[in-house]
Amino acid sequence: MEIKIERAKTLKEKPDFNNLGFGKYFTDHMFVMDFSEEKGWHDARIVPFGYIPIHPASTVLHYGTEIFEGMKAYKTADGYQMFRPEENFKRMNDSAERLCLPELDVNETIDALVKLINIDYDWIPDKPGTSLYIRPFMFGNDESLGVHAVHNATFVIILSPVGNYYAEGLAPVKITIEDRDVRAVRGGTGYAKCGGNYAASLRAGKLAAARGFSQVLWLDGVDRKYIEEVGSMNVMFYINGTVVTPKLTGSVLPGITRKSIIQILKDWGYKVEERLLSVDELMSAAEDGSLSEAWGTGTAAVVSPIGRLYYEGKDLTVSNNQIGELTQKLYDELTGIQWGRVPDTRNWCYKVKLK
């Protein structure tokens, strides 16, 4: 892939790396390339960060043809490292296939990402718990209102320095189990990382927040009975000495954090079951004490302990609303690998040396 590079004439002032929040600041450059049926992917370019001109009839504005990824780069002593980036771009291709968007060459896209980060390297924050969040996204960009598979698309990567998710330390969250809205259904787009899934999830999230909950636990859309995900994270339950996590039925997003945690647990000798878990089984386990810990997994928070579960009038405490021992151990292990404090024995980190 040939990449044209146009450098920003003036560089922006960096924000305070001690106070970044999430997704509020963007680096000086972005990567953009276009797709057409005649030319394939073309005009790969790194340009100053800025607005993207868009035709008012562009497919994405009307029919929601958009997919994205979320990953992080962590500063190291001699450069930086990313966590399993090839997994993200492989998943992006699965999402693309579902939404009739064009697929990417995984290795060439990682090379393009590395070129972009190298240019904006000074934006990778170095404070404890901070990282450079990477947001690749793609959208259908036909300039016509006809409804059909996408013929033109645009792929973009933007970068955002982000703060420590747990500025006040790892904290258990209060969850409500949603019994009205569903996020996704089997046969739909649940396994794809697409903007539309998020659009469908916002109402329940908003109403839950108004009732004092930080996340919604989703049930499956067919039987409204089986646990799927928590907010925009996968979810795991430590029940009677076994870690149970919903299996990938098609409406659950196949998280890379999920996959990595399952691997770590198995390497440590824990029993892990990927299966259907009904809300009734979960609530009885919470009630009789056989549920000892529960946590969400995802790139943003890595591991997020669950302290309370609410469902149809029942409000139950998990792990005494404290961080469970296994939850903490998993958080320390995975963040340790990502920040380079723990040996990367599984070769998960993609290391870039600049010095």
Ligand X SMILES: *Cc1c(COP(=O)(O)O)cnc(C)c1O
Which residues are near ligand X by CB under 6 A?
Answer: 70, 193, 229, 232-234, 253, 255-258, 297-299
Residue 48 vs 254, nearer CB to ligand X: 254
Tell me which residue of 161, 132, 116, 130 sits closest to 15, measured CA to CA: 161
Residue 58 vs 297, nearer CB to ligand X: 297
Shortest spacing between CB 83 and ligand X, in angstroms: 9
43 CB contacts (<8 Å, ≥6 apart)?
Answer: 4, 32, 33, 34
Shortest spacing between CB 245 and ligand X, in angstroms: 12
Shortest spacing between CB 227 and ligand X, in angstroms: 13
Shortest spacing between CB 234 and ligand X, in angstroms: 5
Residue 232 vs 245, nearer CB to ligand X: 232
Shortest spacing between CB 275 and ligand X, in angstroms: 18
24 DSSP β-pair partners? none
Residue 161 vs 255, nearer CB to ligand X: 255
Shortest spacing between CB 256 and ligand X, in angstroms: 4
Residue 44 vs 265, nearer CB to ligand X: 265
Shortest spacing between CB 70 and ligand X, in angstroms: 6
Residue 81 vs 152, nearer CB to ligand X: 81
Residue 68 vs 270, nearer CB to ligand X: 68
Burial class (CB in 10 A: 0-12, 13-18, 19+), 39: exposed
Shortest spacing between CB 334 and ligand X, in angstroms: 10
Write b or e for each residue in 261-282: b if 16 or more Cβ atoms lie within 10 A of its Cβ, otherwise e: bbebbeeeeeebebebbebebb
What is d(CA 66, CA 264) in angstroms, rounded to the nearest whole number? 32
Residue 29 vs 193, nearer CB to ligand X: 193
